[in-house]
Structure 1
Amino acid sequence: MDKTIKHIGTLSGKVLLFGGVYSNLQALEALKAVAEKEEIKPENCICTGDIVGYCAQPEETVQLFKLWKANSVLGNVEIQLIEGEEDCGCDFTEGSRCDGFSKLWYPFAQSQLSKNSIEHLKTIPDHITFNYANKKVAVVHGDYFNVSEFVFKSTDWSVKSKTLEATNSDVIIAGHCGLPFSHEQDQKLWLNPGVIGMPANDGTPQVWYAILENVNGEMKFTHHNLDYNYKLTNSLMKNGLLPEEYARTIITGIWDNTEILPAIESGLQGFGINL
């Protein structure tokens, strides 16, 4: 499938950035309320993909996202659902715990989504570009070349610079890895706002997003954590069809395993997020 890149123009005012909704309707409802309180218009709300995922309400989540009219790029999960594939395309190691869990949550999500929701997912581009505070910004899921690429703060800058060069951007907004971070070098920025569907392996049930602001012509960003009704999310996930380990993570804020994480990020489990 050819890549689609949607240019949404020059944005003004605050920009809300988030990723990994993961079928977590309660988190999406809470974030939408934040946007409304901050008076951030829907077209300035941008998701890094994986609207669908581990939690219990994929259909309701896609429909609320559609109603909200926020922007998003395609995550690997959306691509697989659109193409009717049998796995999530997350690039988990075959036979790993994450791979095993995906054999539960992905078929569940696939079974729950209506034709209307799949048609909406088909309208989402692979990448988004926009201008903000004299910066060229590109939004990707993993990186420009591979939607399922895990890029962390500890990932070497040479890897990140390839996506910056390929998109001719000053700033990359990315998702997929599940952890919020920023990495600045050579007057360029790689920014991951984090995900709202699952905690960031930091020992709290709160989840993460970011806000861009134009301060006297200069782009500034801030990371924020989000409180939401995680107890309801946890309860809904205990339906006998989804991994109990993911339901537990919603409460504890600790990932069941750290097999996708580099050594540095793995060692930070439970110690909070240092931004």
Structure 2
Amino acid sequence: MDKKIENIGTLSGKVLLFGGVYSNLQALEALKTFAEANEISPENCICTGDIVGYCVQPEETVQLFKSWKAKSIAGNVEMQLVSGADNCGCAFEEGSRCDVLSEQWYEYAQSKISTSSLSFLKDLPEHIQFNYANKQITLVHGSFFNTSEFIFKSTNWDVKQANFEATNSDVIIAGHCGLPFYEENNNKIWINPGVIGMPANNGSPHVWFAILEDTKGQFSFKFHNLDYDFELASQLMQSNKLPESYAQTLKIGIWDNMEILPLTEQKQQGLKINL
């Protein structure tokens, strides 16, 4: 089947990149407020997928995203919801803690999403491409080859290089793994802006996003922290009987488990992220 790739042309001005909203309405509201305060237009605000996820307001989050008119590619969660699948499609090991907990939040999300929201999610492209500061940029969720592939900074560069070659890109913007990072090699740049729906396992409740800038034709990017009402987001999870451990993660910034993480990233748990 052909991939659904949307080319949005050449962008100018600041471009705000983020991922993994994860049904965290409070975080999305804060990010939208930041974008408006910094005069970043909705069409320059782009998500790497998984608008829906762990938190408690999937329907409200999708509707806010839709009304904001920001752009997004489809994450594995969107693809699974649209197809009516019975799991989130993260390819967790069967019986693992992630697998067990995902059954709870995914079933909850399925029960809350409206037909209108599913229609919106169905129309999301698998990838977005655009030109910016003389660079060809492609958004992927996991990878170009597999929406659910986890790619980290410690992942071998050859894995990343294959994505650049397949898309003929200078810059890849990726999501899915939940951790912000970048890596430069062979005049190519892989950027994961992080996610706004959950902290980055570094012991802080703040979440992450990134901004691209074009200064006289020179490409640059910077990572940012986002402060939002994580106490409310956590409280709402608890009152709706979603996984307690994820509700705590929103407040303490430490993941419930590290099953998906390579050893390098496991060793970084609780450490300050310097980008």
Same fold (TM > 0.5): yes
Residue 149 (structure 2) pairs with residue 149 (structure 1): yes
Partner deviation per Cα, 1:165-200 (whole Å, 9 max, x = no partner): 100000000000000000000000000000000000
Please give the residue correspondences for 1:48-197 in structure 2 after superposition, counting only pairs within 5 Å: 48-197=48-197
Aligned counterparts of 2:220 and 2:72: Cα–Cα separation in 1: 21
Contact 2:26–2:233, Cα closer than 8 Å, also in 1: yes
Contact 2:178–2:200, Cα closer than 8 Å, also in 1: yes
Aligned counterparts of 1:233 and 1:108: Cα–Cα separation in 2: 16
Unmatched 5+ stretches in structure 2: none
More moved, 165-174 vs 234-243:
234-243
> Hey, what does 2:8 align to over in structure 1?
8
> Hey, what does 1:252 align to over in structure 2?
252
Aligned counterparts of 2:2 and 2:28: Cα–Cα separation in 1: 29
Contact 1:104–1:241, Cα closer than 8 Å, also in 2: no
The one-letter amino acid paired with 2:171 is V
The DSSP-based 3-state class of the residue aligned with 1:272 is coil
Partner deviation per Cα, 1:219-254 (whole Å, 9 max, x = no partner): 100000000000000000003531100000000000
Query: How far off is 1:3 after superposition?
Result: 1.6
Aligned residues: 275
Q: TM-score, normalised by structure 1?
A: 0.99
The DSSP-based 3-state class of the residue aligned with 2:148 is coil
Contact 1:8–1:129, Cα closer than 8 Å, also in 2: yes
Q: TM-score, normalised by structure 2?
A: 0.99
Query: How far off is 1:133 after superposition?
Result: 0.2
Aligned counterparts of 1:247 and 1:241: Cα–Cα separation in 2: 10
Aligned counterparts of 2:241 and 2:3: Cα–Cα separation in 1: 34
Q: Quick one: percent identity of the two aligned structures?
A: 66
Please give the residue correspondences for 1:214-229 in structure 2 after superposition, counting only pairs within 5 Å: 214-229=214-229
The DSSP-based 3-state class of the residue aligned with 1:238 is helix
Query: How far off is 1:216 after superposition?
Result: 1.7
Contact 1:172–1:189, Cα closer than 8 Å, also in 2: yes
Unmatched 5+ stretches in structure 1: none
